[in-house]
Chains A and B, each alone.
Chain A
C-alpha cells in the first residue's frame, strides 16, 4: 500500500524536523551572553533583569523552557523578531513569495532543461552535440555561484544594460499586466544564475542514466521487439533514468537553499535569503532560528515529496514496504 509508505515517510520527516528544532534550541542556549542582558540592554538594573527573565520564562528550569519552546514551535509560534518587531512567522511569510518564485522557477528550468539536454545528448552519444553539452555542463557546475551572479550583472546589466542589476520590481512599478512583466524582467538574471548551477548536474545525470538504461537487457528486448531507439528512449529508458534524478532533486534542496542565499544577496532579491543574512548581521536570534526551522521543514517536505514520487514511479519500492 502506498499509504502505509507515505505515513512512514511523514513520520520520519516529522522526526527530522523535531531534531532540527531541538538543535536550534540548543544553539540558543549555547550562544554566548545572557539573553536577558541582550533584551534589557547593557545598563539595566538587576531588578529589571529579573523582571525580564520572568517575563520571558528564562528563570524556569531548562526542561520546562524546552517544553514551552517545543509547544510554541509546534503551534506555529516562532517568537518575535528583534529587528522587525513583528512575529517571526509574519516576517517569513512576508518574504516567502519572492523566494518561492525564484526557487521554483529556477528548479523547474534546471530540471526540465537538464533532462531535455540529457535526452538530446544521450540520443547521439559521443557526437559533437553530446561533447558540447558535456563540456558546458561541466563548466557550469564548476563555476562558483557568486562569481556567475556578479558576471551576469556585469555582462547583462552594466556593460549591455538589458536587465536590471537587482531588486524584484522597478522603483515606480507599472500597473496591471505590465507589473507581472516587470517582475519577470527582474527575474531573468537571478533565475539564470541559480538554474545554471543545477542545470549541468541534471544534464549529466540524465545522460548517464539514459545511456545506462539503453545498455540494459530490457532495452535489448525492446530492440528485439522492433521498437525504434526513440521509442526505447521515451517508453523505457527515460522512466528508468528518472529514478536517480528524483532522489537527487530531493536531496539537492539544501544546496539550492545555499545557492539561493548567495543569489538573493547578489541581486538584492527581497526574499528569505536576504532576510537570513540581515538576521545574522543584526543578531536577530529568533528570526535566524525561525528561518532555520522553516528551511528544515522545506527540506524535509521536498525529500518526502521525492520519496513519494519515487515510490509512485518504481513498483519495487512500493512492494518492499508491504503488500
Chain B
C-alpha cells in the first residue's frame, strides 16, 4: 500500500521503514487494537516526530521498533526494516545487539528509568561495556566523557551520584547519555521533556538537536506537544486512535495542515480561542470501531463517506493524508 513511498526514497538514505504495522493488546480474552496499518520512514540524519494524544498508539509504535513492547502486546502484521533488516523477525540475540548499540531510547520521567541503587555514571558505563569490547576502566573514562558532552555540570562528581540526587533535567541528560553512549544511528525519544520545566526543556531539546546535527543521529521524537515538535522535527506524523492521519514536512504540517485533526491539534497547541467546536472528550479507544474514519465522531467536516475507511492520499512531493476531503486532489 504505502510501498510507493518507500520506492521513491533513495534506499541508501533510508534508515528505518515501518510498514503496515498492526499491534494489539490482549486483556484477558479481549483484543484491543492499539496500532492499525501504520507506515512511515526515517531517513538518515532526520528528525521524525510522531504526534498524538493519549491512546493514539504513538508510544506503542515506538516501543515496537526495538521490540520492547510489554508481554501482552502482539504484533499482528507489518514489517520494521532497520538498515534493511526486518526487526520483527530478528532473534533475541540480534535484538539485544541492536538495542543500545544501534537504537538508543530516551523516556519521559527520566528518574524512574535509572536504577535507584546504582551510581548514574556506572549506568552509562554499563551500556558501553555491554556493546564495546573495552575494559571497565576505559568505559568509566568514556562515560565521564559522555556526561560532559551531555553538558552535565561537573561530570567527574555527578558520575558518582545516585539517581535520587539528580534534578529531572540532570537525570534526563544521564538517560540521553546512556542512550547515545554507543553512538546509535537512531535515537527514539518518548516524550523526553514532558515533565520538565520550560527552560530545561529548551536545553534538552537543544542537546537532542546538537546530537542530530553533529553526529548525524536520526531521531524519532514521540510527543503530544506540537510546540516541542516545531523546534526540532524535519517531518511530522500525526496519529489518532492508532492510525496515521497525516504525514508531511514540518513546514507543511504547521503552515498548511490538511487533516481536520491536525488543525484541531494546532489550534489546541496555541490554546487559542477560535477553537473548532468540539464534542465530548471521549477516550479515543471507545471510538475505534472497525471501519470508517476513527476521527469522524469529532470531525466538524464529517460526511457520509467517512463511514468507509479513508485511503492514503498522496498530496505533493512527500506528504500524505488519510481523509476523504482530499479524495479529489490526488
- The answer on direct contact between A and B (beta carbons under 8 Å) is yes
Residues of A bordering B, CB below 8 Å: 216-218, 220-228, 231, 235-236, 239-240, 313-316, 319
Given A223-B99, A316-B162: A235 and B117 within 8 A (CB)?
A: no
Could you say which of B68, B115, B179 contacts A236, with CB atoms under 8 Å apart? B115
Contact of A226 with B131 at beta-carbon distance under 8 Å, contacts A221-B105, A313-B117, A316-B162 already known: yes
Cβ-defined contact, A315 with B113, below 8 A: no
Closest Cβ of chain B to A4, distance in Å, is: 18
B100 within 8 A of A: yes
Contact in complex: A218, B96 (CB < 8 Å)? no
Choose one: B68, B112, B162; the contact of A223 (CB below 8 Å). B68
Would you give the shortest CB distance from B82 to chain A, in whole angstroms?
Answer: 14
User: Which residues of chain A come closer than 8 Å to B164, judged between CB atoms?
Assistant: 315-316, 319
- List the B residue with the shortest CB-CB distance to A229: B92
Q: Kindly list the 3 A-B residue pairs having the minimum CB-CB distance in the complex, ordered from nearest.
A: A226-B100, A226-B99, A224-B105
Could you tell me if B107 and A217 are in contact, using CB atoms closer than 8 angstroms?
yes
Q: Give the chain A neighbours of B99 by CB distance below 8 A.
A: 223-226
Q: How far is the CA of A284 from the CA of B293 in the complex (A)?
A: 87
Alpha-carbon gap, A221 to B130, bound state (A): 14
Q: Is B66 in contact with chain A by the CB < 8 A criterion?
A: yes
Task: Report chain B residues within 8 Å CB of A217.
Answer: 107, 109, 112-113
Partner of B112, one of A218, A235, A313: A218
Measured CB to CB, the closest approach of chain B to A312, in angstroms, equals 11
Partner of B126, one of A220, A223, A225, A314: A225
Given A313-B117, A316-B164, check contact A221 B96 (CB 8 Å).
Answer: no
17 additional A-B pairs beyond A226-B131, A228-B92, beta carbons within 8 Å, are A220-B107, A221-B113, A224-B179, A225-B100, A225-B126, A226-B101, A226-B127, A227-B96, A235-B126, A236-B117, A239-B117, A239-B118, A240-B115, A240-B116, A240-B117, A315-B162, A315-B165
A314 touches B117 (CB 8 A): yes
Q: Mark B76-112, 1 if CB is under 8 A from A, else 0.
A: 0000000000000000100011111100110101001
Cβ contact within 8 Å between A236 and B118? yes
Query: Is the Cβ of A220 less than 8 Å from the Cβ of B127?
Result: no
Complex contact B165–A319 (CB within 8 A):
yes
Give the total of B residues in contact with A, Cβ under 8 Å: 30
A239: chain B residues at CB < 8 Å are 115, 117-118
A217 to B97, CA, bound (A): 20
> Does B178 count as interface, using CB distance less than 8 angstroms?
yes
Indicate with 1 or 0, residue by residue over B127-167, a CB within 8 angstroms of chain A CB atoms: 10011000000000000000000000000000000101100
Contact of B100 among A216, A224, A235, A314 (CB under 8 A): A224
Total cross-chain contacts (CB, 8 A): 76
Q: How far is the CA of A239 from the CA of B115 in the complex (A)?
A: 10
Instruction: Report the bound CA distance from A216 to B112 in whole Å.
Output: 8
Cβ–Cβ contact B115 & A224, under 8 A: no
Does A224 contact B104, Cβ atoms closer than 8 Å? yes
B221 adjacent to chain A (CB < 8 Å) = no
Tell me if B175 is interfacial: C-beta within 8 Å of chain A: yes
- Report the minimal beta-carbon distance from A124 to chain B, rounded to whole angstroms: 12
Check A224/B118 contact, CB under 8 A, given A217-B109, A315-B164: no
Q: How far is the CA of A224 from the CA of B164 in the complex (A)?
A: 21
A224 and B115 alpha carbons, distance in the complex (Å): 13
Do A226 and B68 form a contact, CB below 8 Å, given A218-B114, A221-B114, A319-B164?
no
Please pick, from A216, A218, A224, A319, the residue contacting B68 in the complex, using a CB distance under 8 A: A224
Determine if A225 and B112 form an interchain contact, defined as CB atoms under 8 angstroms apart: no
Contacts A221-B105, A235-B126 hold; do A315 and B116 have CB atoms under 8 A apart? Answer: yes
Whether the Cβ atoms of B113 and A220 lie closer than 8 Å is yes
Contacts of B118 in A (CB 8 A): 236, 239
In the complex the two chains form, what is the Cα distance from A284 to B86 in whole Å? 79
1/0 contact string of B162-188 vs chain A (CB within 8 Å):
101100000000010011000000000
Give the chain A neighbours of B179 by CB distance below 8 A.
224
Interface centre among A217, A239, A240, A319 (most CB of B within 10 A): A217
Q: Which of A226, A231, A314, A315 contacts B98 (CB 8 A)?
A: A226
Residues in A neighbouring B113, C-beta threshold 8 A = 217-218, 220-221
Contacts of A228 in B (CB 8 A): 92, 96
Q: How far is the CA of A235 from the CA of B126 in the complex (A)?
A: 10
Contacts of A314 in B (CB 8 A): 116-117
A224: chain B residues at CB < 8 Å are: 66, 68, 99-100, 104-105, 179
Cα–Cα distance between A240 and B117 once the two chains are bound (Å) = 7
A218 contact set on B, CB distance < 8 A: 112-116
Distance of A244 Cα from B131 Cα, bound (Å): 32
Contact B130 A227 (CB under 8 A): yes
Query: Considering the chains assembled together, what is the distance between the CA atoms of A315 and B115 in angstroms?
Result: 11
| Complex A-B: 10 CB contacts under 8 Å | A217-B109, A220-B68, A220-B107, A220-B113, A224-B66, A225-B126, A226-B130, A236-B115, A315-B116, A319-B165
Chain A residues with CB below 8 A from B130, complex form: 225-227, 231
| Among B96, B107, B112, B115, contact of A226 (Cβ-Cβ < 8 Å) | B96
Shortest CB–CB separation between residue A316 and chain B, in angstroms? 5
Q: Are A221 and B178 in contact (CB under 8 A)?
A: yes
| Residue among B97, B131, B164 with max Cβ neighbours from chain A (10 Å) | B164
- Distance, CA A239 to CA B92, complexed state (A): 25
A232 to B325, CA, bound (A): 50
A220 to chain B, nearest CB (A): 7
Residues of A within 8 A of B109 (CB): 217
Docked Cα-Cα span, A222 to B129, in Å, equals 13
Q: How far is the CA of A68 from the CA of B296 in the complex (A)?
A: 88
Say how far B184's CB is from chain A's closest CB, in angstroms: 10
B163 to chain A, nearest CB (A): 8
Residues of B within 8 A of A220 (CB): 68, 107, 113
**Do residues A225 and B178 form an inter-chain contact, with CB atoms below 8 A?**
yes
Q: How far is the CB of B95 from chain A (nearest CB, A)?
A: 8
Chain A residues with CB below 8 A from B96, complex form: 226-228
